[in-house]
Amino acid sequence: MELFNTHGGKSADAPKQSSNNLRPIMKNLAAKLAIPQLPKSAMFWTGIGILLFFIVVAVLGPLFIHGDPNAFSNESLAAPSLQHLLGTTLTGQDVFSQLVIGTKLTLLSGFVAGIIATTLSVIMGLVSGYLGGWADDILSLITNIFLVIPGAPLAIVLSSYVPNTSVWPIVIIVGLTNWAWGARVLRSQTLTMRDRDFIQASKLGGENNFRIIFFDIMPNLIAIVASSFIFTTIYAILTEIGLAFLGLGNILAVSWGNMLYWAQNSGTLLSAWWWFLPPGLCVALLGSSLAFINFGLDTIVNPKLSIVKPKKRGKKAAE
């Protein structure tokens, strides 16, 4: 939700910015163009650190886990020990192995849904903002309709018809139902870019629309695209876990959502904390790491939002 309102506020403000004075814009533009110039906030780097940790676990973890994480054993609900770092499930599966192996599917499905939604929102937003006219009217209408039709219930209805043999239908459904807000934000940003001098120059230079949209405009909006991607990824991960909890995913795949589903359905929540606690904490950590990265990206898009500089507001009024 943070993304929603950030940009809701920003887009209303953007046209005014251009008329005020040029220096902040140039600085802002430079910040957006120069990729190495990343935010300095501790929150941003904490987020990056946690995310990298999970990516490393997802990539390298399987090398250290031997055997099938779903394999049953006779040790039902064993407490954590050296042999089973996080204990075992009701059917004697090793919780630690499941947690490590499940990282990959959870991350991957979140990112894939994020990529689908972001791609759609970039195409719809930039094209409708740049072209204007009737193309804009039609694309905006589609975007706004997708915005008001409730995505989460739609995802549940759709997934109730899809056979639960794989996780990917859910991922695609989540991606297809969550692009509209990003498209709207990008469209309003594109509108403020359209008449800038460098775009006009490209136009006069005979560049085609495709090149102008994706090579001239998009690099300037990369921070917004990134923050919209991250927001969708968080939402996708939480939605997929919610759907898994309702038993709508492929319950045999190894993912954090399915671990929670089985833990909850086994009726052992109260006794076997080592089964239920770790996947939920991992989701919370991963989700907040992404949200922290988004805070950082927001301050690139709009430096006013920084928490670094303390203000002396109110003193003036008191004097």
Place of tokens 């045999």: 252
Stated as kind and residue range, the H or E segment containing 144 is helix 133-148
Q: Report yes or no: 20 and 312 within 8 Å, Cβ to Cβ.
A: no
Q: How far is the CB of 149 from another protein (least distance, A)?
A: 5
Binding site for another protein (CB under 8 A): 1-2, 4-6, 8-10, 12-13, 43, 141, 144-145, 147-158, 160-163, 181, 234, 238, 241-242, 245-248, 257, 260, 264, 269-270, 280, 283-288, 290-292, 295, 298, 302, 304-305, 307-311, 313-314, 316-318
Q: How far is the CB of 132 from another protein (least distance, A)?
A: 17
Q: How far is the CB of 160 from another protein (least distance, A)?
A: 5
How far apart are alpha carbons 35 and 23 in whole angstroms?
19
Nearer to another protein, 180 or 221 (CB): 180
Q: Report yes or no: 122 and 129 within 8 Å, Cβ to Cβ.
A: no
Nearer to another protein, 212 or 263 (CB): 263
Nearer to another protein, 216 or 302 (CB): 302
Q: How far is the CB of 263 from another protein (least distance, A)?
A: 10
Nearer to another protein, 216 or 298 (CB): 298
Q: How many CA atoms lie within 13 A of 30 on its CB side?
A: 6
How many C-beta atoms lie closer than 10 Å to residue 273's C-beta?
14
Q: Residue 262 has which token pair?
A: 């089985």
How far apart are alpha carbons 139 and 222 in whole angstroms?
21
Q: How many CA atoms lie within 13 A of 288 on its CB side?
A: 7
Q: How far is the CB of 276 from another protein (least distance, A)?
A: 8
Nearer to another protein, 16 or 66 (CB): 16
